[in-house]
Amino acid sequence: MSKLIAPSILAADFGNLQRDVEMVNNSEADWFHIDVMDGHFVPNISYGMPVIAAIKKHAKKPLDVHLMIEKPERYIEEFAKVGADIITVHYESTVHLHRTLTQIENAGCKAGVVLNLTTPVSVLEDILPKCYMVLLMSINPGFGGQKFEDITYNRVKKLRKMVDERGLETRIEIDGGVSNKNIKALVDAGADTFVAGSYIFKSENQIETIKDLKALANS
Ligand code: DX5
Ligand code: ZN
């Protein structure tokens, strides 16, 4: 499976959002990763539909929208309308997960589930065939720039086993503290899709950083 890089717009310069979107367009990145935070599910507030619509206007690659909000089922259609291509919801945020994923599919998007850092991957057993992707958090969600947690490697291995045993094509995405120091080990553990925020946007040459990450992931 080809390895994908999804720069996290949370780390972009919001005063120069169009410039940063064009940078991603012109890079080897595959998706835009867009973090929506509501100040309830996570202790931070980011941005919502108008900002996503503005990104969509310039984006030439799919929008991977990561909802860190309580009861995401209230807003699925609105996120689809402003241009989300993939929508992931936290297992911990919605009571009727199967119904919420169906809602995402019916809105014309690909559906995925996110697990917090220590939510056991075994909870995915029954929902896995319905997931286009599973996103494993490698930090406590809410903020960029945090340290990658090493417990992630074992979690990826367990999830990779579950996916392969079922003969599924489910993508395994990692989010939080991803850099050149851990991406290869994450690929070896079985991950294939990588969010990176501060590592990309704080670097001198963002285009080169994306290129290097992608090369490492595919090495
Ligand atoms: C945090 C977000 C991440 C964040 C990652 O809750 O889900 O997508 O932007 O940022 P870095 O790569 O800086 O850890
Ligand atoms: Zn995210």
Does residue 209 have a pLDDT over 90? yes
Q: Does residue 66 have a known ligand-binding role?
A: yes
Q: Percentage of the chain surpassing pLDDT 70?
A: 100
Interval 39-66 mean pLDDT:
98
46 alpha carbon – ligand 2 mean position (Å): 11
Ligand nearest to the CA of 116: 1
To the query of whether residue 175 is one of the catalytic residues in this protein, the response is yes
pLDDT, tens only, 110-132: 999 999 999 999 999 999 999 99
Confidence of residue 136 (pLDDT cuts 50, 70, 90): very high
Ligand 1 in reach of 141 Cβ (< 6 A):
yes
Interval 18-45 mean pLDDT:
98
pLDDT, tens only, 144-203: 999 999 999 999 999 999 999 999 999 999 999 999 999 999 999 999 999 999 999 999
To the query of whether residue 30 is one of the catalytic residues in this protein, the response is no
Interval 81-94 mean pLDDT:
98
For the entire predicted model, the pTM comes to 0.98
Could you give the residue ranges of the DSSP H alpha helices within 59-192? 76-81, 97-106, 151-165, 183-189
10 alpha carbon – ligand 2 mean position (Å): 8
**What pairs with residue 109 in β-bridges?**
none
For the chain, the domains span 4-217
Does residue 1 have a pLDDT over 90? no
Q: Mean of the per-residue pLDDT values for the chain? A: 98
**With left for phi above 0 and alpha for psi between -120 and 50, is residue 176 left, alpha or beta?**
left
Q: Please tell me the chain's helix, strand, coil percentages from 3-state DSSP, rounded to the nearest 5.
A: 40, 20, 40
Ligand 1 in reach of 196 Cβ (< 6 A):
yes
- The complex's ipTM? 0.99
Confidence of residue 7 (pLDDT cuts 50, 70, 90): very high
Structurally, what CATH architecture does the domain formed by 4-217 represent?
Alpha-Beta Barrel (3.20)
Q: Does residue 83 have a known ligand-binding role?
A: no
User: Probe ligand 1: pick from 5, 8, 202, max atoms within 8 Å of CB?
Assistant: 8
What residue type is 102 in one-letter code? T
Ligand 1 in reach of 7 Cβ (< 6 A):
no
Measuring CA to CA, which residue among 214, 129, 197 is closest to residue 167? 129
The Cα–Cα gap between 84 and 76 comes to 9
Confidence of residue 109 (pLDDT cuts 50, 70, 90): very high
Q: Does residue 190 have a known ligand-binding role?
A: no
Catalytic residue among 20, 38, 64, 175: 175
